[in-house]
A = this chain, B = another copy of it.
């Protein structure tokens, strides 16, 4: 058996291009002590892989040249030297873009395909959705009647953040690019979708938030964050989940004028879902229960074949699809 991987060939300058990646074949990874080897059936793509392609990325560990691009993945254990895992177990791992991945036992988590089909463990129950859950239930749970604005609301994290805000009894407003995505987030139950590409973006945002903004779940940054921040109410909370508008040019961006944060006593909080792994079991139970009750949905955008990952990733950064970007792998 051989492994197939997509590795980083060049560090991207701005938007990654096809030649920044290389599809290579390699031997199957060794199974070291306390590790397992997994056949990955689905990859989940995350925008945070982009900043990690920069040489000096402070966001988690930078990807080395020749290494697979980071991602989540689900699949089946084919070899184990870790107690608690045996071949045949289904697991969630931080696989990277490859068909066979080694993982430490501590970074792997068993999943039950009897509770939900495999791709759902990357979408409804995956890292992006969990990130939304951490923000909206642990760090800044909105109170009933408050207004929550979510940017990149048609994406895998934003869509869940807005729906959980609604479950808290809050008004959920989603900022998206284009009228089609407005309709999409409204179909998910958001009270309003607002198109940041529209000429009347500011007026749309005012209309959608007649009582100002109490909580901002921020995935975008830049001018979108600026528009939201300028409407934050006293005691508002800004959750900085990601700043996708900056990922292709991290260094140039400035944040909003913080004077408003002083006089309105606003809290701005960056966070990483990885600091809250202990919440995963509760999240899985709640997300499944909400989904069964028809209160939580996550769309999947599935492409087939490892070689599709780079293009799907560029589409993800460019906001060219809805929901969670997933790559189905086959031999």
A270 touches B275 (CB 8 A): no
Task: Find the B residue at minimum CB distance from A255.
Answer: B255
The contact string, 1 if C-beta is below 8 Å from chain B, for chain A 80-112, is: 000000000000000000000000000000000
Q: Considering the chains assembled together, what is the distance between the CA atoms of A246 and B268 in angstroms?
A: 19
The contact string, 1 if C-beta is below 8 Å from chain B, for chain A 238-266, is: 00111100100011011111111111111
Q: Considering the chains assembled together, what is the distance between the CA atoms of A241 and B257 in angstroms?
A: 14
A262 touches B275 (CB 8 A): no
A221 within 8 A of B: yes
B267 touches A267 (CB 8 A): yes
The contact string, 1 if C-beta is below 8 Å from chain B, for chain A 189-220, is: 00000000000000000000000000000000
Q: Which of B241, B250, B267 contacts A268 (CB 8 A)?
A: B267
Tally of this chain's copies: 2
B269 touches A267 (CB 8 A): yes
- Residue in A59, A241, A253, A255 with the greatest tally of chain B CB atoms within 10 Å: A255
A243 touches B259 (CB 8 A): yes
Q: Considering the chains assembled together, what is the distance between the CA atoms of A263 and B61 in angstroms?
A: 11
A58 touches B271 (CB 8 A): no
Residues A115-141 near B (CB distance < 8 A):
none
Q: Which residues of B contact A264 (CB under 8 A)?
A: 58, 270
Other than the given A253-B258, A254-B254, 20 more pairs (CB < 8 A) read: A58-B260, A58-B263, A59-B263, A240-B261, A242-B262, A246-B257, A246-B259, A250-B257, A251-B257, A254-B255, A255-B256, A255-B257, A255-B258, A263-B272, A265-B269, A265-B271, A265-B275, A266-B269, A266-B270, A268-B269
User: A residues bordering B, Cβ < 8 Å?
Assistant: 51, 58-60, 221, 225, 240-243, 246, 250-251, 253-272, 275
List of 3 A-B pairs having minimum Cβ-Cβ separation, nearest first:
A261-B270, A255-B255, A254-B254
